[in-house]
């Protein structure tokens, strides 16, 4: 995220997130958190300048309400 030349990327397939994302830089990685299917919490990370995005399942169904 420190790069001035940002470009759009598809982080997750359509229909997998249901809220506006929260985006941050943590060390040398870009991170995104968003509400997933069934009110779950999804987390995605990518080393800056690297590929691919890595999905993580953070909280189970029925626990996240954005």
CA distance 60 to 50: 28
Of the pLDDT bands very low, low, confident and very high (cuts 50, 70, 90), residue 31 is very high
Number of helices (H) and strands (E) in the chain: give both, helices first: 0, 4
Please state the domain extents for the chain.
1-66
Span 6-27, average pLDDT: 89
pTM: 0.82
More confident residue, 7 or 60: 60
The predicted-structure confidence for 39-61, as pLDDT tens digits, reads as follows 999 999 999 989 899 999 999 99
What pLDDT score was predicted for residue 32? 96
What pLDDT score was predicted for residue 65? 83
């Amino acid at each position: 995220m420190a790069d001035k030349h940002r470009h759009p990327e598809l982080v997750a397939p359509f229909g997998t997130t249901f809220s506006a994302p929260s985006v941050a830089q943590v060390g040398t990685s870009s991170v995104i958190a968003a509400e997933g299917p069934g009110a779950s919490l999804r987390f995605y990370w990518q080393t800056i300048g690297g590929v691919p995005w890595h999905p993580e399942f953070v909280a189970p169904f029925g626990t996240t309400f954005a």
